[in-house]
Amino acid sequence: MITLKSAREIESMRESGKLLADVHIHLRDFIKPGVTSWEIDQFVQHFIESRGGIPAQIGFEGYKYATCCSINDEICHGFPRKKPLKSGDLIKVDMVIDLNGAISDSCWAYAVGDVSTEVIDLMDVTKKALYLGIEQAQIGNRIGDIGHAIQTYAEQKGYGVVRDFIGHGIGPTMHEDPAIPHYGQAGRGLRLKEGMTITIEPMITTGTWKMKMDPNGWTAYTQDGGLCCQYEHSLAITKDGPKIMTSQGEEGTY
């Protein structure tokens, strides 16, 4: 079921999103060679809880961690672990926060130390693809317009667009209707309405978009071992256009 949010509910989600963005901003200085994704997860959990929030991923369908930390060829849902990051790695940190009942969800990517031009270019294309999708999140547009903008841009640049994991409605629970694919045809799909709150979270690959699953049942990898990058925002559909709720006025910078 799709729930349309009031201005008050959207403002509450925005406050949750500000906290989430603050975590990500602090991770910029925390993430460096030698740090483990386990330490990142512990940092995030403490940061959220010390500011009155709840790391909402803990316990979700049995998941045990505050974050998903996906490295290099991991597409998403990577478990935090105690292996140190090395210079050249690409890590994506995804988290969900519940602040006074308001949910926010965002993933940012981080370059670890000195990275290759391949990593830099992939991060740049993924970020731009996200914002092209967000630009289409207008009242009266259709869900297919979002996916089409992302897919067209990424594929023109020579990258793959993951099909198996997509964006979604959000609030008052973590995953709600509608589904938001990052591929598709313009002018197709559900029409967007004022008050919808959704995530857009493209996962862009240097090779095939096809994935394989880890035996842990959670972590997805690229089939060919190519890199994958992801950026994600939660946003509200408003009469004034899409309003990003998981930022602190730093759209486009990360």
Q: How does 3-25 read in b/e, with b if 16+ C-beta sit within 10 Å? A: eebeeebbebbbbbbbbbbebbe
101 CB-near residues (< 8 Å, 6+ apart):
12, 172
pLDDT digits (tens, 9 = 90+) for 96-139: 999 999 999 999 999 999 999 999 999 999 999 999 999 999 99
Q: Residue 248's pLDDT is what?
A: 78
Given a contact cutoff of 8 angstroms between Cβ atoms, the answer to whether 150 and 133 are in contact is yes
Q: What are phi and psi of 52, to 5 degrees?
A: 85, 5
Q: Can you tell me the mean pLDDT for 169-195?
A: 97
**Entry field: residues in the chain:** 254
Task: Please tell me what DSSP assigns to residue 58.
Answer: T
- Cα separation, 154 vs 160, in Å, equals 7
- Cα separation, 132 vs 113, in Å, equals 28
Q: What percent of the chain has pLDDT over 70?
A: 98
Q: Residue 249's pLDDT is what?
A: 66
- Containing 133, the helix (H) or strand (E) segment is helix 117-135
Task: Please tell me what DSSP assigns to residue 106.
Answer: E
Q: Which two tokens stand for residue 1?
A: 């079921």
- Cα separation, 147 vs 159, in Å, equals 14
Q: Can you tell me the mean pLDDT for 142-158?
A: 98
Using CA of residue 54, residue 56, residue 60, residue 63, what is the dihedral sign?
Answer: negative
Q: Which two tokens stand for residue 167?
A: 């964006």
User: Is residue 253 scored above 50 in pLDDT?
Assistant: no
pLDDT digits (tens, 9 = 90+) for 89-104: 999 999 999 999 999 9
Q: Residue 34's pLDDT is what?
A: 98
Q: How confident is the model at residue 159 (pLDDT cuts 50, 70, 90)?
A: very high
191 CB-near residues (< 8 Å, 6+ apart):
140, 141, 142
User: Is residue 251 scored above 70 in pLDDT?
Assistant: no
- Cα separation, 210 vs 221, in Å, equals 9
User: Is residue 226 scored above 60 in pLDDT?
Assistant: yes
**Cis before residue 178, ω within 30 degrees of 0?**
yes
Given a contact cutoff of 8 angstroms between Cβ atoms, the answer to whether 196 and 180 are in contact is no
